[in-house]
Amino acid sequence: MSEIYDVVIIGSGPAGLAAGLYAARAKMKTLILEKNKAGGQIVTTNEVANYPGSIENATGPSLIARMVKQAEEFGAQRKKDNVVEVDFSEKIKKVKGEKEEYKAKAVIIATGATPRKLGVPGEAELTGKGVSYCATCDADFFTGLEVFVIGGGDSAVEEAIYLTKFARKVTIVHRRDELRAAKSIQEKAFKNDKIEFIWNTTVKEIKGEGIVESIVLENLKTGEITEYKAKEEDGTFGVFPFIGYIPLSEIFKGKVQMDERGYIITDVDMKTNVEGVYAAGDVRQKTLRQVVTAVADGAIAAVQAEKYIEKVFNE
């Protein structure tokens, strides 16, 4: 008979690791499944300045390393396996990986979300070196510099407004001739003296040797190509694409309730519409996607899973 875990956690970013820590600390038999390496999006962040208590030049990788160590010290197991299928129809849940199948009394989904990429040359190479997908995380690095925000929806314009607190100048680059953001947000942006707009334009390339040095733009109406270079005294500028996120939830379609964008719907206790199945972190429907909210989600999910198991299996 195959082993039955109390909790199987799918994903090992901050939400999954926090869930693992809390579950294992509660003496539950806990397994964290990770597709690649632990950490999720945060491991691409050079400095984590807004996580409470992250001092002494904390980096994304160093913060994750401490989380991993904590979870393991309390007894959480970690396995590297890519989950390809789940079955939540029975009391004992089944999680099928490429390597083996796992059984659990409760499952916590913490697979995260990934920023939608521009898909242009230089973007991947310069991510974390001038290209960022999180203004809240990285705005401070661009204090006094110029920044380009790519996109025209609510998040793009809101992040552009936020970036004006730090940057000398913020230029919104949008592929259409008008913003898609809510009118109230647009009004704030248009009134902000630090924000400029480039319309009907897309990014063709991001250039730089180890750091962003220029951005190549194409006007969709005229076909004109323009290269904006960092001012000599600055040496660099920021590029913030905000064209949406993609929740990593494909394998859970039809298994738990989702919104139209693919985010898993939970209540405040991280419960999905399936008993014994929880979601935590960026994969669930929420308003703020940050490390601090991810770890809170993970902790709540683990505590609720413990209560569920105690009620359903131990009474």
Question: Which listed residue (134, 193, 234, 269) is catalytic?
Answer: 134
| Cα torsion angle, 171, 176, 180, 183, sign | positive
Report the distance separating Cα 73 and Cα 34, nearest Å: 18
Q: Among residues 257, 248, 247, which one has the least CA distance to residue 277?
A: 257
φ/ψ bin of 314: left (φ > 0), alpha (ψ from -120 to 50), beta (otherwise): alpha
Report the distance separating Cα 224 and Cα 299, nearest Å: 51
Report the distance separating Cα 68 and Cα 39, nearest Å: 9
| 138 among known catalytic residues | yes
Residue length of the chain:
315
Amino acid, res. 5:
Y
9 near 19, Cβ under 8 Å?
Answer: yes
| 134 among known catalytic residues | yes
Amino acid, res. 134:
C
∠ at Cα 133 (130, 139), nearest 5°?
60
Question: Which listed residue (6, 81, 138, 282) is catalytic?
Answer: 138
Amino acid, res. 238:
G
Question: Which listed residue (6, 81, 137, 297) is catalytic?
Answer: 137
Amino acid, res. 234:
D
| 154 among known catalytic residues | no
Structure tokens at 191: 């009134």
Q: 138 φ, ψ to 5°?
A: -120, 0
Structure tokens at 289: 């996607």
Q: 160 Cβ partners below 8 Å, 6+ apart?
A: 149, 170, 172, 189, 195, 240
DSSP tag of 91: S
Q: 260 Cβ partners below 8 Å, 6+ apart?
A: none
Which positions are annotated as active-site residues? 134, 137-138
